[in-house]
Amino acid sequence: MIVLKSPEELSCMRLACQAAAEVLAEVALLVAPGRKTRELDEAAAEMMRKRGGRSAFLGYRGYKGQICVSVNEEVVHGLAGERRIQYGDIVSLDVGIVLGGFVGDNATTVAVGMIKFETQRLLDVTERALYAGIAAARAGNRVEDISRAVQQAVETAKFGVVREFVGHGVGRKLHEDPQIPNFVEQRGRGRKSEMLRAGMTLAIEPMTTQGRPDVEVRSDGWTVVTKDGLPSAHFEHTVAVTDGEPEILTCRKTMPSAAKA
């Protein structure tokens, strides 16, 4: 069931999403060679606590991290640990926070120093695909319009779109209806995806690969990686569908760009 948010609920969503955006921006600034991914996770927990919130991920279906930290070929759901970040890595950070009964969810991929040209292009294309999807999140459009915008932006650039993991509605729960694939699903004759209506709040999140789109889950049961070992990128915003332009609820004021991080 798709939950439409009232103006009062949207006000609460804005607070949770702004907190999530602030935490993500602050954690991104900590990404540096030699730092353990566990240190990023611990720092994020303290940042959430100071804002009166808590992780939306910790304990979710048994997840053991405060945030998701995915390095290089890791696509999403990376568990923080003793891995040390290296110069030339790319690090995807996914932050979800519960504050005031609502969830804010956002992600970015940060380059650690100079990275390979094609990997930088992957980051740039994925971020552009996110904003192409957001632009399509308008009342009267359908979910597949978001999916098509993302897919076209990514595949035109000759990169892969992950099929197994998708965006989603978000609100009082981390995952609400509808699901938002980053590709256009094949449907039966006459079947259409959900209509977008004002009051819907969506986590739009392209997950892309530099090579083939095939992925697998590591033995930890969580970390998703590319099968070919090539890099992956992940960008995400929580967005509200309105009667006019879509509103980016997790708009970040101090986020280092992937090109400059």
Q: How far is CA 197 from CA 98, 105, 111, 192, 201, in A?
A: 24, 20, 36, 15, 9
> Residue 195: beta bridge partners?
142
Q: CATH for 7-248?
A: 3.90.230.10
Residue 258, pLDDT above cutoff 80? no
Please report which confidence band the pLDDT of residue 64 belongs to, taking 50, 70 and 90 as the band edges. Answer: very high
pLDDT in tens, 20-60: 999 999 999 999 999 999 999 999 999 999 999 999 999 99
Give domain limits for the chain: 7-248
Residue 209 has phi, psi (to 5 degrees) of: -130, 150
Average pLDDT over residues 66-72: 98
Rounded CA separation 213/50 (Å): 38
Residue 256, pLDDT above cutoff 90? no
Residue 261, pLDDT above cutoff 50? no
Rounded CA separation 34/24 (Å): 19
